[in-house]
Amino acid sequence: MENKAEEVACHTSGRKSHHPERVKKDLTTRLNRIEGQIRGIKGMIEKDIYCDDVITQISATQSALNSVARILLEGHLKGCVVDRLSEGDNEVLDELVVTIQKLMKK
């Protein structure tokens, strides 16, 4: 994986992120694939596919979502957090702790 997240930069006023088009395209492609995986899992359940096979697909989908989260978190750290710290906004560290706690609940 290239270091795509390095190019992700967040904008703090209005709490928006500004992703380069290449990163947005990559994330959108990944999320579209995940959406397809979810539809596939639903179809497997409707067709009474063996539980272990469904669980395997769920695990793959969770891994794909974690990959998206890693890209976003890395970009957030290298963009938003660094920028806000350089502006003297230490509150971003508390926000970051909460964000990491959310990711670790999984």
pLDDT in tens, 14-45: 667 777 889 889 999 999 999 999 999 999 99
| Angle between the N-to-C axes of helices 51-76 and 91-104, in degrees from 0 to 180, rounded to the nearest 10 | 170
pLDDT (0 to 100) of residue 17:
75
Alpha carbon distance, N-terminus to C-terminus of the chain? 23
Largest distance between two CA atoms of the chain: 56
Q: Is residue 12 scored above 50 in pLDDT?
A: no
Identify the structural domains of the chain with CATH numbers, from first to last: 14-104 (1.20.58.1000)
Q: When comparing pLDDT for 87 and 10, which is higher? A: 87
pLDDT in tens, 43-70: 999 999 999 999 999 999 999 999 999 9
- Nearest residue to 28 (alpha-carbon basis) of 100, 20, 7: 20
